[in-house]
Chain A
Amino acid sequence: MTTVHARFNLDYPNFALDVDLDLPGRGITALFGPSGSGKTTLLRCIAGLERVAGGLLRVHGEVWQDGTMFRPVHSRRLGYVFQEASLFPYLSVRRNLEYGLRRVPRAERKVQLEQVVEWLGLNKLMDRDDPSGLSGGERQRVAIGRALLTSPSLLLMDEPLSALDLASKQEIFPFLERLHDELDFPVFYVSHMLDEVTRLADHLVLLEQGRVIASGALGETLSRLDLPTARQDDAGVVIEARVAEHDETYQLSRLDFPGGSLWVGKVPRGTGALVRARVLARDVSIAIVPPQGTSISNILSARIAEIRYEGRDRASLRLAVGDRQMLMSRITRRSCDLLGLANDMQVFAQVKSVALIA
């Protein structure tokens, strides 16, 4: 379902943006790329903070700008969370939260103050007069709440975690994950951290030097070997799975996904819960006969869908497990040749480690 269409063409002396994108109207879309790839500029164009002549933007069937009209930022129903929280220093926490809310006509308010306060755990902060006394994580939570309170039809987040220390990041993540589960409007999330993206996103847009090099469902896009994400050290795939059973004796849980199952350390969720796991390419090794006498408990039957050599020493494999799930494996080129691996071969993928991310 495509409900956001964006086309922007910017030509600055040192930077060009050339983007024509159809994006889903639900879930979290990550705009991912190295710094200077144009992801923040794209987000600013969508918000109207960057005025691009001839740009085209349609959100849920509403034209926000085209060749003839340009809807100014304040008339676009969007929320924007900046890298730094940008709270108004002269307003109390409550007033900050209410700033946008007051400017939305009553009939258009879908989000209530009490809801957001409860949801982001802001209760204790409400009476603070001076927001400069808040911690980085608290400030960003207030900023997220303030944006949500405008009842946006599109939420834009520009690396909302990058200015925070690890502890504050851990504090915010659960809220972002709930955002993912509970909101019915799309979120565009700019990030240059692959682990953030794999935890949160449903859809992935890869940018490089102002151009879109890939746009697609997260799992599919992450398993593509032709993209720069596959060459990162933490390259890997995402598996959406259900908790199938718990093993109390060994404190393990079995996760089922279409095409197979994985045993992981006990998951603090009931059976039937939907979880997201990440398997890194470097943690998957290949055997051509069923491995025996191995300590690795997760062995999946897979078909080689693609082999790609990286330099002279390494090889990356894309493996199909069942009909839909993909895995990636990174092995040495020598092993690849010794085992005589080729496309469409049936092999066994030995998964050394699985990280539960949501």
Chain B
Amino acid sequence: MDFSFSAAGLSAADISAIWLTVKLATLATFILLLVGVPVAWWLARTRSRWKGPVGAVVALPIVLPPTVIGFYLLVAMGPDGPLGRITQSLGLGLLSFTFAGLVIASVFYSLPFVVQPLQNAFENVPERALETAATLRASALDRFFSVVLPLSKPGLITASVLGFAHTVGEFGVVLMIGGNIPGQTRVASVQIYDHVEAMEYVQAHWLSGAMLLFAFAVLVVLYTFNPNGKR
């Protein structure tokens, strides 16, 4: 085993993996908010009998092993899968083992971590505030932007941070969907796995340490700037 610190610091490949991770998490978080906000709003307000099943589907990734989600997504994105057929007929080719496929997989995988804080926040918006806004001439869409979102600011922050952080931390889904293509799908967590496989413990230390610091910083931000109940 080589424990020398000669290769100390982050290699170009490490930097590239980190950069890819940040890109993936940013894009995924953006899409997660676009998808998660309407889903959470629907879940928070609906009296439909579909509320239970839809909520359960959204929450599945919390319970399922990432490999299971990865497996199904891989099949769906494959040449004979429903998603694969759509992307092929659109001339986009197959999404498996691409960055785009990774983004889609991340959105599924992190959805509950975005939807649940949002749903909580939306459920806590008092009906009276919405009624007041309606009597002040605000339409439903207007009320959503001028009342619901400002009152749900803590939930929005929590959802974004959790969505981002959870995407950074994924591993199983990435391996199933993306494989291990440098600059394409080799994110930081996979890179660490590679280092350990190759017995490059020092490299693994550096990258792991960076991830640890990141996770800690995220949680500090979450707990410091978002104390419960306060706006």
Contact = CB atoms under 8 A, between A and B. Distances in A.
Most chain B CB within a 10 A radius of its CB, from A73, A90, A147: A73
Contact of A86 (B128, B150, B151, B153): B128
A312 interface: no
B45 interface: no
Given A72-B134, A73-B131, A90 B139 contact: no
Contacts of B151: 89-90
A307 to B, nearest CB: 46
Interface string A68-81: 00001111001110
Given A86-B129, A90-B231, A103 B138 contact: yes
B137 A88 contact: no
Contacts of A78: 135
A88 B147 contact: yes
Given A89-B231, A90-B231, A103-B142, A80 B137 contact: no
Interface in B107-160: 128-129, 131-140, 142, 146-147, 150-151, 153
A201 to B, nearest CB: 22
A150 to B, nearest CB: 6
A82 interface: yes
A150 B136 contact: yes
Contacts of B133: 88, 99
B128 A150 contact: no
B131 A49 contact: yes
B139 to A, nearest CB: 5
A24 B140 CA distance: 31
Interface string A92-112: 000000011001100000000
Contacts of A72: 134, 139
Contacts of A26: none
A49 B153 CA distance: 26
Interface in A47-93: 47, 49, 72-75, 78-80, 82, 84, 86, 88-91
A82 B134 contact: no
Contact of A104 (B137, B140, B147): B137
A73 B134 contact: yes
A84 B151 CA distance: 18
A88 B129 CA distance: 7
Nearest to A89: B231
